[in-house]
């Protein structure tokens, strides 16, 4: 079963390259739609619809009012899809959102490793 999933993913990825141009970026300032971060995360580009500039590590969820948009996830929200990768991306601009792998997450309080 896994073999078919991998083949299907590779087929979709190859078709996307041929039809839409570059979708994968391996460098921090790349122009693709998917990026491998330096920390080991997988990031996608979504439109910042928070109303403010991004803050790295803030939890986000999909914006139901805007296609490919991201808004801040609230306390106790169960629909979080990732975290902002960079700070200072203005509202309405494309921002990298880490959706898998390793990412830094912002905390409101003084926390340290292992304090959960």
User: Do 53 and 72 form a contact (C-beta atoms < 8 A)?
Assistant: no
Strand ranges (E), 1-116: 24-25, 34-36, 41-48, 59-62, 69-72, 80-84, 94-101
- Supply the range of the domain harboring residue 60: 24-101
In a domain, 58, yes or no: yes
Specify the CATH number for the domain of residue 81: 2.40.300
Q: Which residues of the chain fall below pLDDT 50?
A: 1-22
pLDDT computed for residue 76 by the predictor:
86
- DSSP states along 49-69: -SSS---TT-EEEE-TTSTTE
pLDDT computed for residue 107 by the predictor:
77
Q: Give residue-wise pLDDT tens across range 93-109.
A: 999 999 999 999 887 77
pLDDT computed for residue 113 by the predictor:
65
In a domain, 108, yes or no: no
Domain count, the chain: 1
In a domain, 7, yes or no: no
pLDDT computed for residue 99 by the predictor:
94
In a domain, 65, yes or no: yes
pLDDT computed for residue 106 by the predictor:
85
In a domain, 2, yes or no: no
In a domain, 80, yes or no: yes
pLDDT computed for residue 10 by the predictor:
38
Query: Quick check: helix, strand or coil at residue 95?
Result: strand
Q: Please tell me the pTM assigned to this model.
A: 0.71
Residue 4 per-residue DSSP state: H
Dmax of the chain from CA atoms? Answer: 47
């Amino acid at each position: 079963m896994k073999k078919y999933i991998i083949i299907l993913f590779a087929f979709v990825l190859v078709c996307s390259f041929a039809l839409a141009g570059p979708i994968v970026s391996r460098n921090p300032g790349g122009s693709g739609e998917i990026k491998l971060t330096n920390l080991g995360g997988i990031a996608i580009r979504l439109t910042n619809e928070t109303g403010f500039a991004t803050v790295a590590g803030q939890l986000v969820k999909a914006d139901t009012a805007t296609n490919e948009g991201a808004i801040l996830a609230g306390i106790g929200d169960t629909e979080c899809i990732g975290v902002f990768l960079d700070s200072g991306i203005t509202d309405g601009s494309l921002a990298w959102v880490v959706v898998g792998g390793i990412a830094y997450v912002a905390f409101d309080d003084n926390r340290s490793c292992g304090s959960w």
